[in-house]
Amino acid sequence: MKKILLISVLGLLSCKRNTPQVHPPVGGVLNKSDLDISRNRMKNLNTLERQQIQDWVNGQDIKFYPTQLNYWTTVEGFDQRQRRADGSPISYSYDLYDFDQTKIYDKSIERNDARFGHFDELKAVENALRYMKEGEEVTLLVPSSLAYGTFGDENKIDNDIPLIIKLKVL
């Protein structure tokens, strides 16, 4: 009797399906509530940073103008200029500063013969370069959402830090 019971149990166990276990992606799955919280946080942070940048601008001798992409520049009507097309080449350099006007990196970031649509750059930098003329220099005031966002650059730039970017087309 014990042998029959043991054989029956082993038989049932051998019939068990080996279905693969499903694991969520690394970091988990965000549900609608998590996404709404994140969206509201970014919206509130952007509103706060825009106000802080505007307050900073009001205290400057240099005039800054807002653009449609949510950053400021030293050129009036900047984003009304003709826009460079994807694939067109450009060489440029830029320096990053915090709003205490302290330079973050000693060495400028420089790219030669980059092509629009084929290089990875800060959103504000890529957008501004599309409207710049050869040899032109502009200063950008950029909220963190268009800079290094909620993660920073994992080096000297912390999370949620707005930046001053001094950009030059070479």
pLDDT at 73: 97
pLDDT at 35: 79
How many residues in total does the chain contain?
170
pTM of the model: 0.78
Which tokens in the block code for residue 104? 């973050």
pLDDT at 96: 97
Going from the first residue of the chain to its last (170 residues), give the mean pLDDT of each consecutive group of 10, the final group possibly shorter.
60 55 56 80 88 94 93 95 92 96 95 87 91 96 92 90 97
pLDDT at 12: 57
Nearest CA to 63 out of 117, 141, 160, 3 is that of 141
Which residues, including other chains, have CB under 8 Å from residue 99's CB and lie 6 or more apart? Answer: 52, 53, 56, 162, 164
Nearest CA to 74 out of 154, 124, 162, 141 is that of 141
